[in-house]
A and B are shown apart, each in its own frame.
Chain A
């Protein structure tokens, strides 16, 4: 019984782990990692924009400071979006 269990597990593991090696693969674009970095940067920038807005609404930033920071952050966000567009990201 123990031998059967072991054989079943070994067989299942072998089939499962080797499955990708038996599939036909299509080529991938080489820019995937750069896209991932830019997407992470974009999400972080959006969070910063929201945080700045919340800081302004809760009185941590004056109107002038907020306008300046918000402008800067949105400019940086636009830059990231442009870079994403240029390499075909979302």
Chain B
């Protein structure tokens, strides 16, 4: 076969594979992702039964235990709004009041509490690389 034709075929195969991979990547990313929201966004948009990743800081004085469940409030980074969360499962070592956390939450009905999915709580390491004007 003519070398330039071979090159053209190889290029076509490679480009097709790349396009297929890219399409699959985009699809899977959207399909497997969960909307990441702040406390204020969650209160505004949360629909019962739907999963959200709630990000924010743990409100000082809000952490308490009820049996094996951990109860705490997550504060919106910008607004004076916080959301109560009831969580069971492994609590990461860096978890503490004031720390930035992410937890996957859901609620059964519009008035029910937000329940954190077991073992979905992640905490940022206490900030060593702080912004100059407090984060």
Check A-B contact in the complex, CB < 8 A.
Answer: no
Residues of chain B whose beta carbon lies under 8 Å from any beta carbon of chain A: none
